């Protein structure tokens, strides 16, 4: 039983005439008649009674008709859905990003993409790079923005570095810390520290160790939003990406040098599978947006 045979059958059932049904479906009358016979043979029973006054459905034809109509409707709906997805009028993107990127970079990128593709659903998971890497590997995300190098042995993850992100010291706006500092100057400052497993925690602790001291922790264990609130409350200072301070007037940034601190943002996806069309469109749009951001933001530069 073929889809085109069902279409011919429904056309004959509607018109009760083989020639008119052939015109409706765009085939010759002999071709249509032959395919109806093939369909009847495959089902093992006649579908039409042919007589001088016209054509009537047999009881088997009456039974088949609603099923055939439903199948054709479903096929048309499936074709329309696939076409809409292929033309990016519908679809879904499952995106992962680190908290600092969700707070600083991602909102503008998502707004830009949504304006151009309003029919595509966006699902965003905010987590650290280790979690995002695992979610990608297990197929629960299409694409992710995370920090490299990856602290994972997942072989199926392909990363493309896109931006270098400058890290700064965030302090309360009324603080008297200088605008430029060395990492060694953090020795005497109380720090608000991110939770275990957080990329920024590892960067900060490693920089302090290389400078020859262990930092004094005032508070530890928070995510990005909590750490920034703790700093705003005057509990201490924190090493954060410079871009997250753009909407925090109660905080000020001090540039860090000797050595300067930064980290690399990469776009990641599974190397064993092609990106879905919607995810590919988002990747293209995001890279274009990052080019604009990297050119115009002193805390970000293109890799």
Q: In terms of Cα–Cα distance, which of 155, 182, 171, 143 is closest to 265?
A: 143
> Model confidence at 83, in pLDDT bands (50, 70, 90)?
confident
Helices 29-43 and 18-25 pack at an angle, to 10 degrees, of: 100
144-172 average pLDDT score: 87
pLDDT tens per residue across span 12-66: 999 999 999 999 999 999 999 999 999 999 999 999 998 877 899 999 999 999 9
Instruction: Output 252 or 130, whichever has higher pLDDT.
Output: 252
Cβ neighbours of residue 213 under 8 Å, at least 6 residues apart?
184, 187
| Residues 6 or more apart in contact with residue 166 via CB below 8 angstroms | 241, 242, 255, 260, 261, 262, 298, 299, 300, 301
What average pLDDT does range 175-180 have in this prediction? 92
Instruction: Record the pTM.
Output: 0.68
> Which residue in 166, 146, 173 sits closest to 158, CA to CA?
146
pLDDT above 70 coverage of the chain, percent: 97
- Overall average pLDDT of the 118-138 stretch: 90
Nearest CA-CA partner of 6 in 40, 30, 29, 55: 40
Q: What is the pLDDT of residues 202-215, one digit of tens each?
A: 899 999 999 999 99
pLDDT of residue 42: 94
What's the per-residue H, E or C state across 111-137?
HHHHHHCCCEEEEEEECCHHHHHHHHH
| pLDDT exceeds 70 at position 295 | no
Q: Which of 97-106, 130-139, 199-208, 218-227 has the lowest mean pLDDT?
A: 97-106
**Residue ranges of E strands in 3-105:** 48-51, 54-57, 91-97
Which range, of 15-19, 189-193, 231-235, 288-292, averages the lowest pLDDT?
288-292
- The residue that leads in pLDDT, 93 or 79, is 93
Q: What is the band of 84 on the pLDDT scale with cuts at 50, 70, 90?
A: low
User: What's the confidence (pLDDT) of residue 294?
Assistant: 59
pLDDT score, position 150: 83
Beta bridge partners of 272: none
Judged against a pLDDT cut of 90, whether residue 8 lies above it is answered with yes
In the numeric block, the tokens 């007037």 are attached to 249
**Residue 259: cis peptide before it, omega within 30 degrees of 0:** yes
pLDDT value at 76 more than 70: yes
**Rounded distance between C-alpha atoms, residue 194 and residue 204, angstroms:** 9
Residue with tokens 């490299």: 148
Residue 27 has a pLDDT of 94
Q: How far apart are CA 57 and CA 50, in angstroms?
A: 9
In the predicted structure, residue 155 carries a pLDDT above the cut 90: no
Dig out the tokens for 52 from the structure.
């001088």
Instruction: Specify the pLDDT at position 43.
Output: 94
């Amino acid at each position: 039983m073929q889809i085109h045979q069902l279409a011919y059958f429904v056309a004959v059932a509607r018109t009760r005439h083989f020639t008119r049904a052939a015109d409706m479906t765009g085939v010759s009358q002999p071709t249509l008649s032959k395919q109806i016979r093939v369909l009847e043979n495959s089902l093992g029973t006649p579908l039409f009674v042919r007589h001088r006054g016209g054509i009537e459905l047999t009881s088997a034809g009456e039974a088949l008709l609603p099923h055939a109509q439903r199948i054709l409707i479903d096929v048309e709906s499936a074709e329309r859905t696939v076409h809409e997805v292929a033309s990016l009028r519908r679809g879904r993107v499952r995106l992962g990003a680190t908290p600092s990127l969700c707070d600083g970079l991602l909102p503008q990128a998502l707004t830009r993409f949504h304006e151009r593709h309003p029919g595509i659903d966006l699902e965003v998971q905010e987590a650290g790079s280790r979690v995002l890497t695992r979610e990608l590997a297990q197929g629960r995300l299409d694409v992710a923005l995370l920090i490299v190098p990856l602290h994972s042995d997942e072989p199926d993850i392909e990363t493309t570095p896109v931006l270098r992100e400058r890290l700064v010291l965030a302090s309360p706006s009324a603080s008297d810390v200088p605008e430029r500092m060395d990492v060694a100057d953090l020795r005497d400052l109380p720090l608000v520290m991110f939770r275990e497993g957080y990329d920024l925690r590892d960067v900060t602790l490693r920089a302090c160790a290389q400078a020859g001291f262990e930092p004094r922790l005032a508070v530890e264990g928070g995510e990005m939003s909590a750490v920034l609130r703790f700093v705003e409350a005057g509990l201490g200072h924190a090493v954060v990406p410079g871009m997250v301070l753009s909407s925090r007037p109660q905080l000020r940034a001090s540039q860090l040098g000797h050595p300067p601190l930064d980290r690399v943002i990469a776009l990641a996806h599974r190397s064993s599978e092609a990106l879905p069309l919607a995810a590919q469109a988002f990747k293209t749009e995001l890279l274009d947006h990052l080019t604009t951001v990297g050119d115009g933001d002193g805390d970000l530069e293109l890799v």
